């Protein structure tokens, strides 16, 4: 399939439609991004690459990194993980507080902020050097040892992360956070600060298209069952209270980040990353979702 030709056609079609989104401004460092940036990179399971636009420019992957921390924690903790976090769609905003009160400190799923904070807590418990060990895990997955946290973005998030502090404190009061709150928040803010290009992001997530086996690390990261479950969580929960809409329109497991990135998986076929910084009201890339909807329609590559 000539993916490059399809990319170009869809991009031309989208260029005639006004992008009504807004760049995230509640994290100061993200508000400086050029809103016109647009990149696409697809990597097949045979490691063929297809790209368009700003696919080699680094951006903050933000909540997309939650899938990577979940995968690492699942590898280390096994099925006990689900005693501390659920697998249900939240139906609420990514930083909502009221569900935690109702659910007595158990987050609905690991891809909302509260869930990712619990995952961060689990990793801190397991790892001797949590940030360094997690970064090594991501680098090994991607086959790229240059991937880094962005301290500038992590500091910006910390300065404005009052709601995340509220979430972790509430969960601590229910006994669902075991480690020091400041250490959990620091890990979480660094987790979200990771920068990648679309090229790097599509390659990093290829292990989920390969049923848990990384083509770069040359070993199994997750068993097939666990890989299946991660993809299922992405399908159900990867876009917060727009997860159903994304599934309806695009039909692939995926995850968004407020840096404007989206990664999506077609098991046994490919991993694709799209970057467009303008977000819709739900906090997901407006143009990114439009592109992926047209792409899966054009290629007939939805899982449904």
pLDDT (mean) for 24-51: 94
* pLDDT per residue as tens digits for the range 211-234: 999 988 878 999 999 999 999 999
| 193-218 CB burial, b ≥16 within 10 A, e <16 | bbbbbbbbbbbbbbbbbbbbbbbbee
Q: Residue range 238-265: average pLDDT? A: 96
Confidence band of 267 (pLDDT split at 50, 70, 90): very high
Q: Is 260 a residue whose pLDDT tops 80?
A: yes
pLDDT digits (tens, 9 = 90+) for 117-169: 999 999 999 999 999 999 999 999 999 999 999 999 999 999 999 999 999 99
Smallest CA-to-CA distance from 285 within 259, 254, 249, 250 is with 259
CA distances (Å), 207 to each of 50, 125, 146, 249, 271, in order?
18, 25, 19, 24, 9
d(CA 275, CA 287): 8
Q: Tokens 């972790």 appear where?
A: 168
**pLDDT score recorded for residue 98:** 85
pTM here is 0.96
95 pLDDT more than 80: no
- The answer to whether the beta carbons of residues 259 and 59 sit under 8 Å apart is yes
pLDDT digits (tens, 9 = 90+) for 99-123: 898 899 999 999 999 999 999 999 9
The domains found in the chain, sorted by start residue, are 3-299 (3.40.710.10)
Mean pLDDT for the stretch of residues 268-276: 97
Distance of alpha carbon 283 from alpha carbon 266, whole angstroms: 23
Q: Which of 234, 207, 212 is nearest to 224 (CA)?
A: 212
**Of the candidates 210, 263, 276, 259, which has an alpha carbon nearest to the alpha carbon of residue 235?**
263
Amino acid 219: pLDDT = 85
Write down the pLDDT at residue 26.
85
Distance of alpha carbon 164 from alpha carbon 22, whole angstroms: 22
Q: In degrees, to the nearest 5, what angle opens at C-alpha 101 toward C-alphas 246 and 74?
A: 55
- Annotate 148-180 with DSSP letters as a single string: B--HHHHHHHHHH-HHHHHHHHHHHHTT---S-
Rounded to an integer, what distance in angstroms lies between the CA atom of residue 146 and that of residue 298? 35
For the cut 80, the answer to whether the pLDDT of residue 96 exceeds it is: no
Residue 32, both tokens: 């400086």
pLDDT classification of 19: cutoffs 50, 70, 90: confident
Mean of pLDDT over the chain: 95
Amino acid 25: pLDDT? 87
- How would residue 18 be classed by pLDDT, with cut points 50, 70 and 90? confident
């Amino acid at each position: 399939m000539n993916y490059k030709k399809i990319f170009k056609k869809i991009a031309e079609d989208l260029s005639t439609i006004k992008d009504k989104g807004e760049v995230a401004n509640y994290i100061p460092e993200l508000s400086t991004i050029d809103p016109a940036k647009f990149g696409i990179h697809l990597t097949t399971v045979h490691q063929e690459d297809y790209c368009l636009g700003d696919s080699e420019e680094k951006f903050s992957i933000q909540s997309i990194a939650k899938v990577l921390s979940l995968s690492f924690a699942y590898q280390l903790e096994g099925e006990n993980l689900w005693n501390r976090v659920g697998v249900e769609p939240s139906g609420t905003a990514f930083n909502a507080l009221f569900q935690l009160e109702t659910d007595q400190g158990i987050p609905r799923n690991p891809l909302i902020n509260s869930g990712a904070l619990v995952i961060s807590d689990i990793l801190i418990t397991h790892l001797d050097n949590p940030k360094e060990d997690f970064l090594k895990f991501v680098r090994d997955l991607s086959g790229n040892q240059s991937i880094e946290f962005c301290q500038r973005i992590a500091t910006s998030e910390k300065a404005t992360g009052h709601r995340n502090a509220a979430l972790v404190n509430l969960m601590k009061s229910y006994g669902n956070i075991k480690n020091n709150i400041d250490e959990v928040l620091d890990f979480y803010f660094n987790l979200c600060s990771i920068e990648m290009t679309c090229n790097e992001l599509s390659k990093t997530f290829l292990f989920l298209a390969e049923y848990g086996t990384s083509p770069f690390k040359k070993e199994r990261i997750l068993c097939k069952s666990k890989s299946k479950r991660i993809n299922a969580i992405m399908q159900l929960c990867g876009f917060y209270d727009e997860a159903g809409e994304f599934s309806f329109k695009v039909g692939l497991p995926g995850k968004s980040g407020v840096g404007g990135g989206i990664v999506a998986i077609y098991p046994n076929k490919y991993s694709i990353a799209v970057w467009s910084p303008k977000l819709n009201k739900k906090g997901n890339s407006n143009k990114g979702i439009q592109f992926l909807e047209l792409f899966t329609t054009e290629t007939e590559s939805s899982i449904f």
